[in-house]
Amino acid sequence: MDREKQKRAPIYEALEAFKKKRVVPFDVPGHKRGRGNPELVQLLGEKCVSLDVNSMKPLDNLCHPVSVIKEAEELAAEAFGAAGAYLMVGGTTSAVQTMILSVCRAGDKIILPRNVHKSVINAMVLCGAVPVYVNPDVNQKLGISLGMEVDKVRQAIEDNPDAVAVFVNNPTYYGICSDIKTIVELAHARGMKVLADEAHGTHLYFGKNLPVSAMEAGADLAAVSMHKSGGSLTQSSLLLLNKGVNADYVRQIINLTQTTSASYLLLSSLDISRRNLALRGEESFGKVVDMAEYARSEINSIGGYYAYGKELVNGNSVFDYDVTKLSVYTRDIGLAGIEVYDLLRDEYDIQIEFGDISNILAYISIGDRIQDIERLVGALADIERLYKKDSTGLLSGEYISPKVVMSPQKAFYSDKISLPVEKSSGRVCAEFVMCYPPGIPILAPGEMITDDIVEYIMYAKEKGCSMQGTEDPAVEHLMVLANI
C-alpha cells in the first residue's frame, strides 16, 4: 500500500474546490444549499447542507465514474488489498444483494448458512436463487449460531456440484468466524464463487492479530460496512472484488437497484474514512482490541455475566473469534439480553447495539473512549445487583434451524392468507419474521412454521424484542401459503 497515495481523498478535495467557487445552483436538490429549508440547516449545519449536491462534471457520477469517484474507488481497493472496490450508498444491504445478483440467476443454487442477514434472503427473492443451507452448530448455552464447519461445506459442495457460489459470514454479529480460507479453496476447486458478508469485519483489513479478511482469504466478493467499525456515515459501504471477477458486469448489477442520486455526504465520508483507516487503522484498531479485552475482563469479574472471547475457538465451528466484539451472555442473572438492553437505555442512558433472548452486544469502535467502557461496566454491575432474579422459566436457545419447503422467491410470490401467529404452526411461511437488530430471520419465505418457532416468536415479543418483516405491524398475524 502506497501511504503517500493514501493521503489523498479525491471526493473530499473536489467538494472543497467546488464549495470555494460559489456556483449558483439551478439543479437539484431543491433546498438550494439549504436556503429553502432553514430548519434543515439549523439541525445539520450550513456546511453539511451546502455539500448536499447533485452529480455534475467536476464531482463525477457514481453510476459511471470517470474521475474523482473512480480515483476514490481505486484508492479503496488498494487500501483493502482488493482488485477493485465500489462505493455503495445503499448500505451493506445493497452490497450483499449485488454480490448475489452478480453470480446467481433464477434456479441457481447457492450454499450458505441459515444465520444470514435478511438482505441475503431478500436477494434470493429478487433473483430466484435456491438456498442450500449448511446449518451451523448452535452453542446451546449462549443460544447463538456458530460458523460453518468445513466438513459440512465440503459435503454440501459434493452433494450440489451445480451450485454457483458459497456465502460466508466473516464474522457473524457475535464475532464467530468460519475457516473462510479453506472454504474458498474447496469452492474454487469446483468452480464456485465465494461471497463474504463482512458487515462486521471492516477492521479485519487493518487490525493486527485479528481473523483473516475475505480478500486475503481469496474470496471473490466481499460486502464491507464502513459505517459500522470503519467510521463513515450510516448507509455508506464498500463492495470489494478480487481478481477474476468481471468488474464491469458487477457495476451493471449495482446500477439495477442503486440510486442515480448518490449522496456526496455519504461518498465523501467513505473517502475520508478510507484515508483514515489506511493511515491510522492499525493503531486505531489496536486500541479497540485493548478496550474490548479490558471490558470483557471487567464484566466477567462482576459475576453472573459471561463476556465471551477467544476461549470459544475450537478450530472448526468457531475457527477464529473477533475480539473487538463485546458479546455478553445475560441469562445467568435471570434477565434476557433484550431486558438488559432496555435497562441500560432507560435507566442508565447507555445505548448498546442489540439485545436478543440470551445476549447483549456492545459495539466498540474507533470512536469509543475508556471512560465510556467504565460507565458501561458500572451500569452492568448495577443491573446485576438491583435486578438479578431467578432464571427459571427463561427460554433457552436463541436459534432454531427452520425446514425449507420451497425457494424464497416462489413462497414470497405465492397466494397467501393471514393467520394468527399462535395458529400458524404446520403452515409454510410466506414472509419474514425477525428481531432487529441483528436482522437474522427467525422465519423466511418458504420455511415451515413449527410449535418451537411459534413459542420463540411469542416469547421474543413478550420480552420486548423489536419484531419486523411481517405485513402485520403488530406481528400478531403471519402470512402463510394458502394452499399448503
Instruction: Count CB neighbours of 417 within 10 A.
Output: 13
pLDDT greater than 60 at residue 398: no
The CATH superfamily holding the domain 408-481 is Molybdopterin biosynthesis moea protein, domain 2 (3.90.105.10)
Q: Could you tell me the pLDDT band of residue 420, with boundaries at 50, 70 and 90?
A: very high
Taking only the tens place, the pLDDT of each residue in 125-176 is: 999 999 999 988 889 889 899 999 999 999 999 999 999 999 999 999 999 9
> What is the distance, to the nearest Å, from the Cα of residue 102 to the centroid of all Cα atoms in its chain?
19
Same fold, 63-261 and 408-481: no
Q: Which of 275, 276, 243, 458 is nearest to 366 (CA)?
A: 276
Q: Which CATH architecture has domain 63-261?
A: 3-Layer(aba) Sandwich (3.40)
Exposure of 158 by Cβ count < 10 A (0-12 exposed, 13-18 middle, 19+ buried)? exposed
pLDDT in tens, 434-470: 988 788 899 999 999 999 999 989 988 888 888 999 9
Instruction: For residue 105, report the phi and psi dihedrals to the nearest 5 degrees.
Output: -115, 175
Phi, psi of 65 (to 5 degrees): -75, 140
pLDDT at 437: 77
Is the confidence at residue 397, as pLDDT, over 70? no
pLDDT tens by residue, 206-245: 999 999 999 999 999 999 999 999 999 999 999 999 999 9
Torsion-angle region of 76 (φ positive above 0: left; ψ -120 to 50: alpha; else: beta): alpha
Return the residue matching grid coordinates 463513515: 232
pLDDT-derived band at 330, boundaries 50, 70, 90 = very high
Distance CA 152, CA 133 (A): 10
User: Residue 156 belongs to what H/E stretch?
Assistant: helix 150-159
Residue that is written with C-alpha cell 411481517 in the block: 470
CA-nearest of 20, 46, 17, 16 to 34 is 46
Please name every residue paired with 480 in a beta bridge, in sequence order, or none if there are none.
417, 429
pLDDT of residue 150: 98
Task: Write a three-state SS string for 117-130.
Answer: CHHHHHHHHHHCCE
Classify 280-387 by CATH class.
Answer: alpha beta
Q: Is the predicted pLDDT of residue 178 greater than 90, yes or no? A: yes
**Domain boundaries along the sequence of the chain:** 63-261, 280-387, 408-481
Average pLDDT of the residues of the chain? 95
| Per-residue pLDDT band at 399 (split at 50, 70, 90) | low
- As given in the structure block, the three cell numbers for residue 5 are 497515495
